[in-house]
Chain A
Amino acid sequence: MGKPVIATASLAGCFGCHMSILDIDERILRLVELVEFNKSPIDDIKRFTKPADIGLIEGGCSNSENVAVLRDFRKNCRVLVSLGECAVMGGLPALRNSIPLKECLEEAYLNSPTVDPGERVIPNDEDLPVILDKVYPCHEVVKIDCFLPGCPPSADLIWEALTAIIEGRPLNLAYDLIKFD
């Protein structure tokens, strides 16, 4: 049997969770021995070339492209993990969720003091992903198997979760591993 395969994606997130993956310090050398990375911004593999054992999702779903990527991950990953507050509950992008989308777009593209008066237009090019009415946590779009909260989740929590999933054991969640900030 080959090494377990990991894939990662950043949807409506800030890449902080991916930085936290790298924050596992020298354990990254062990991780490289332990697993093989497939589709991920870390190695810039754009498409799945084989099914993955673990998919790590950073960020919630804010637009149609996020949904498509998330569904692709669900199809290709055995265990799908919501990594960080944005994937788990929408995070700061979801601050817009109690404001109508039209108001948000008008504020950002028409009325904001930094908009060039000659450029007051809400982007609607057909090549742009369609923005959703709300930012959705990943588990409200596809089935998620494991949740790692935190903004970002600590490197220790990520390490614990990855090794637990690889070894097929339950997560050992010490008190200070669970943080929402």
Chain B
Amino acid sequence: MSEIRFTIDGRPCVARAGQTIVEAAKANGVWIPVLCHYEGLKPVGSCRICTVRVAGRYMAACTQPVTEGMAVENTAPDLEDMRKSLIEMLFVEGNHFCPSCEKSGNCELQALAYRYRMMVPRFPYLWPGRALDARAPRLMLERNRCIQCLRCVRGIRAKDGRKVFAAVERGPRVTIEIDQRLAAGLSDAEARRAMDICPVGAILRKETGFAVPIGKRKYDGAPIGSDVEKGAGR
């Protein structure tokens, strides 16, 4: 298969035909932040954290395929600030109480805020009131922390392929619901996968929490994306 040549911030890179900008960047040891994207799931490009600029146009790098000669801007200061502002919006839009959250230290939203040095969001807090759903035997859905990435909707299915999670309503009212019957049939491993697939602490396994001590959690030591930059993702 012929190689595609393109650049990221001026650096020559190569890609395979059909690769998205995020995938190709990763193969070249360049990190582009993602949040609604999860490896193995079909990307939907809804959160826009991965926004890059090509020929003056903004595009979601998780859905956009690389083309020959493409010059991708990834770390321009205005792009990075726009990404930071998206992270800040997510923080004020939900109720994110990191000190009391089981996912703290393993949370992708928090890890992005750390990497982007978010000391305080620039927007006023909205304090929405969202209901918690703890009916499923192995799972808890804490909607106050949900960022509507739809990773659970796309990634968690029952044995017959039916979706366990669904998005109800649209826009600012969008809410995640659980199919209680299907959720009751989830094994412990599937419940664990649901918790892992959720980037934040909205999906939690019951009867366990704070299992990994502070200092040993995923993002305690090294910033999110540093594994990609070290080339570990190749």
A interface residues with partner B (beta carbon < 8 Å): 82, 85, 88-92, 94-95, 97-99, 134, 137, 139-140, 144, 147-149, 151, 173, 175-176, 178-181
Contacts and interface: CB of A to CB of B under 8 A. Distances in A.
Interface of B: 91, 95, 97-101, 104-105, 110, 113-115, 117, 119-121, 124-125, 127-130, 144, 214, 220-223
Contacts of A85: 98-99
B230 to A, nearest CB: 15
Top 7 nearest A-B pairs (CB, nearest first) are A180-B98, A151-B99, A98-B129, A147-B119, A97-B127, A147-B120, A181-B104
A80 B214 CA distance: 30
25 contacts: A88-B119, A89-B91, A89-B120, A89-B121, A90-B125, A91-B99, A92-B99, A94-B127, A95-B95, A95-B97, A95-B100, A97-B95, A98-B95, A98-B128, A134-B127, A140-B124, A140-B125, A144-B120, A149-B120, A151-B98, A151-B99, A175-B223, A178-B119, A180-B114, A181-B104
Given A134-B127, A175-B114, A176-B220, A181 B119 contact: no
Contacts of B105: 181
Contacts of B223: 175
Nearest to A171: B119
A91 B130 CA distance: 18
Contact of B119 (A91, A92, A134, A148): A148
Contacts of B120: 82, 88-89, 137, 139, 144, 147, 149
Main SS at interface, chain B? loop
A18 B152 CA distance: 40
Contact of B125 (A82, A89, A175): A89
A89 B98 CA distance: 10
B128 A176 contact: no
B127 A181 contact: no
Contacts of B98: 85, 151, 180-181
Nearest to A151: B99
A112 to B, nearest CB: 20
Nearest to A173: B117
B149 to A, nearest CB: 19
Nearest to A137: B125
B9 to A, nearest CB: 21
